[in-house]
Structure 1
Amino acid sequence: MNPVIVRNVKIGEGIPKICVPVAGTTEKEILTQAEELSGLPVDIVEWRADWFTDVFVFERVNEVLVKLRKAAGDLPLLFTFRTAMEGGEKAVAAADYTELVIRAVRTGLIDLVDIEFFTVGEDMEKCLETAHKADVKVIASSHDFQGTPSKEDMISRLRRMQEAGADILKLAVMPRSRRDVLALLDATQEMVTRYADRPVITMSMGGTGLISRLCGEEFGSSVTFGAAKQASAPGQIPVLELEPILKTIHENIHTK
């Protein structure tokens, strides 16, 4: 697998990188949350822009991005608008979603962008081309809050993202049983060992799927999401609890 390097953070190698969402509704809340990341074990800062009240006024989005870029310092900044269809805070038409993603990429203020693979549909090629021209890495994503698809379906989704040219492949599903969590982990392991030539991010959400956020290094998921204060998805745990667990697993994973 070829790791993706963003601002000296190597995604896809070693301990899963910790991404922490910033999810405020106002500029003040967003910047306060960003400032609170100082001193925490964070590898990537994610702005969950769908929480922002003025997200559909792009001048305001740009103003916040300028300040977030400064607050993030040397950390990679990931821009994400999670649609309501995939568990986010706001509904948006596919065309408007695509336009927002492209405009965010063109600011030159972000390092990575999350693009919902099945939301943009045929516009994925345009989004990828725009992002890569701006030297922005693309995380193609799919989120299923209704359940956990079959192992074959999960692998198929990830393979389609890879074939489309995304830099990182992301899949999040909701488990209805422990067996669903095992299916997600099995699909991750098979994708990484048989098909993937780039980083993969997977997770089984909620309390039932918590283990999937911790054992990525063993099964092949390269990034895990933790909360500073405001969790943006079910099952996220505080980064101060998450980091020592990841380190312990890393230090003992290959012990004989």
Structure 2
Amino acid sequence: MRQQSILQVVVRGAVIGGPRPLICLPLVGDTRDTVLHEARELAALRPDLLEWRVDGCELVENREACLSLLQELRGCIGDMPLIFTCRIDLEGGMTKIAREQRLELFVAAMATGNVDIVDVELCNGLQFIQAIKERAQANNVKLILSYHNFTETPSEPFLYAKLVEAQNAGADIAKLAAMPNNYGDVLTLLSATNKARNEIIQCPMVTISMGAEGAISRLAGGLFGSDITFAVGLQPSAPGQIPLQALAGVMDVLYKE
């Protein structure tokens, strides 16, 4: 039996932190048409969640166009839970967007009722995070606070501290993703996840070791306390993502109730 979160997050009936990790598919299209095509195709696969990486869309700096597309996107996916992510360029964002512009986009998107979860990086700072947190609570939107390192896997104490930082900053879900340079780095991330789950982190977590070496974390991370794993949609949003069907098959074995 896997280690479940003490606290659980429920969005549109999906339980994050429950008996089985959830599978999320990313939408990373660069135009309105490709985003909507992805949405129709991926919604038909029935993942647990979808994530719109709006930073990859050419409309990202046009707020009204983004909100219009968000409305169309919701129409395509129905009642499927949606994570709204405008990733900062410092942590893998596909477009460099001014701080205030990102904040305004998050706030406007949450007010539409079409977003269930937003993903905001810890490196934005407490003032930015608090502004997002206040609007998220007002609109019944859940908050992921995240850390990403596409170069290396920091030490176990560092990773553990990042999860604690996210929880202390008010995250509903704490997230970290790091790039391994060897299989020992993968063990470091899984060990930090296990330690955090057993010692201090009460909210759901998402912990990912990226790249080919880290693939096992996407399959078995839930055994150590990670509550969401990301699979390939029509295009990957991070290195090492596994096709949905392959991931779901392994999870059926690992997390059989």
Partner residue of 1:133 out of 115, 133, 138:
138
2:3 aligns with none
CA distance in 2, matches of 1:126, 1:191: 27
- After superposition, the C-alpha distances for 1:143-165 in whole angstroms (9 at most, x for unaligned) are 01121111111111110110111
Matched ranges for 1:1-256 at <5 A: 1-251=6-256
SS at match of 1:36: helix
In the alignment of these two chains, the number of paired residues is: 252
Q: For 1:130 and 1:152, locate their aligned partners in 2 and report how far apart those are by CA, in whole Å.
A: 32
One-letter amino acid matched to 1:124: I
| Structure 1: distance between partners of 2:131 and 2:233 | 34
Residue type of the alignment partner of 1:201:
V
Q: Report the AA paired with residue 149 of structure 1.
A: P
118-127 or 2-11: bigger deviation? 118-127
> In the TM superposition, what whole-angstrom CA distance separates every residue of 1:201-252 from its partner, at most 9, and x where no partner exists?
0000010111000112210000000112211100111101111111111128
Conserved? CA contact 2:42–2:234, under 8 Å? no
- Per-residue deviation at 1:192? 0.7
Aligned to 2:58, the other structure's residue is in SS state: coil
For structure 1, the 5+ residue unaligned runs are none
Find runs of 4+ consecutive structure 1 residues off by over 3 angstroms: none
Residues 155 and 191 in structure 1, CA contact (< 8 A), matched pair in contact too: yes
Q: Distance in 2 between matches of 1:39 and 1:106?
A: 27
* Structure 1 residues 191 and 229: alpha-carbon distance in aligned structure 2, compared to 1, 3 A threshold: same
Alignment deviations for residues 175-206 of structure 1 (CA, whole Å, 9 cap, x no partner)? 11111100000000000111111100000001
1:203 counterpart SS class: strand
The one-letter code matched in structure 2 to 1:70 is G
Distance apart, 1:83 and its partner CA: 2.0
Q: Which amino acid aligns with 1:232?
A: S
| SS of 2:256 mapped into structure 1 | helix
TM-score between both structures, scaled by the size of structure 1: 0.95
Given the two structures, how large is their TM-score scaled by the length of structure 2? 0.95
Secondary structure at the counterpart of residue 15 of structure 2: strand
Point out the more displaced range, 233-242 or 121-130.
121-130
- The amino acid across from 1:21 in the alignment is P
Gaps of 5+ in 2: 1-5
Deviation at 1:120, TM superposition (A): 4.2
Q: Percent of aligned positions with the same letter in both sequences?
A: 40
